[in-house]
Structure 1
């Protein structure tokens, strides 16, 4: 059961309304999700409704998420693997359900999805998976378990991912950890239906 009621679009103040329209008209409003991240009543769903509590912080946070999802240099499957590992680590049902749908659309193997849902890095990857998957997931796992300080593998991982890739993976982990905590705080349940 949600811990807070979703915002009614008719009751938003000016700052909230600006963020609401930004979310509805930005890159998240694609043909696979008509209307953007909203439900049938026009209310924002998932982490996006929580962002309306503080538009001054929510707006830049959602822009970071959009940059990670739509502008990052990371391979799409690799990005989704990292997100699913974070969701598994934090037992975040909303992130898991939402991003498993994306992963399946991208053709990710069910075995990989199941491993990540259990917060485990897969032992092997299907043919065609980008070569950065293993180092990206290894770096993400180290971040999630607090094993970065004086880690002898960090230089190898940075080299394998490149400076931009390492930066983007670390930012992706931090962003989705933040969302996992916010989703738990506000009691946001997973979306219903095939295209929620």
Structure 2
């Protein structure tokens, strides 16, 4: 999926050696494309390189299943009303086994009805984290008992990384090119 944005495009011949290295690393990695925030981050290779490495870990290498990671990503996209983040990750989440009903409820900002207790726990942790900027002792203990401390640390990383992605996509008005109905109402800009 090709992206459009309000950023000034950088032609290949304008890329610095550091930008060329980041571009090569992104394109040769598991993503294989510059979709998402990478078109913005390439403007700052010092940010782009560690951010893309963190993103590769958060998306492909945590202890959480893809289904649970994508739930955390869609919850983040919904909270930030990030059009491109949602459009990129909705099909991945559905393919990973997240139900269409859960996905639709997230898009609408409604509490989903979960049949899976792990999904319900990911949602509860994310909601509490976004609402209160903390996680209660009881919910923390439930997270540790269910996922283990390393996976809970990684879950917080997923929420944080994808919040950065959502902010980047929103600030630079990044959208997939072509005809896409937007999942969220567009905020009026002044």
| TM norm. shorter chain > 0.5 | yes
Is 1:78–1:133's contact at 8 Å kept on the other side of the alignment?
yes
Q: Does 1:15 align with 2:18?
A: yes
Match of 1:26 among 23, 26, 29: 29
Partners of 2:135 and 2:96 in 1: CA distance:
34
Map 1:39-58; keep pairs closer than 5 Å.
44-58=34-48
Structure 2 unaligned regions, length at least 5: 181-190
Structure 1 unaligned regions, length at least 5: 29-35, 38-43
List structure 1 runs of 4+ shifted beyond 3 angstroms: 149-152, 190-194
Q: 1:40 corresponds to which residue?
A: none
Q: Higher helix share goes to which structure?
A: 2
Q: Helix, strand or coil for the counterpart of 2:132?
A: coil
Q: Does 1:81 align with 2:71?
A: yes
Q: Does 1:101 align with 2:104?
A: no
1:151 to partner: Cα distance? 5.2
Match of 1:137 among 111, 118, 123: 123
Taking a change above 3 Å as real, the CA distance of residues 191 and 71 of structure 1, as seen in their structure-2 partners, is farther
Q: Deviations over 1:2-57 (max 9, x none)?
A: 321332223211000000000000111xxxxxxx21xxxxxx33201111121112
Is 2:128–2:135's contact at 8 Å kept on the other side of the alignment?
no
Kindly tell me the number of residue pairs found equivalent between the two proteins: 177
Q: Deviations over 1:105-162 (max 9, x none)?
A: 223321111112123442223xxx5x52221221111111125165543222332221
Q: 2:108 corresponds to which residue?
A: 118
Taking a change above 3 Å as real, the CA distance of residues 135 and 107 of structure 1, as seen in their structure-2 partners, is closer
Partners of 1:137 and 1:150 in 2: CA distance:
14
TM-score by length of 2: 0.84
TM-score by length of 1: 0.82
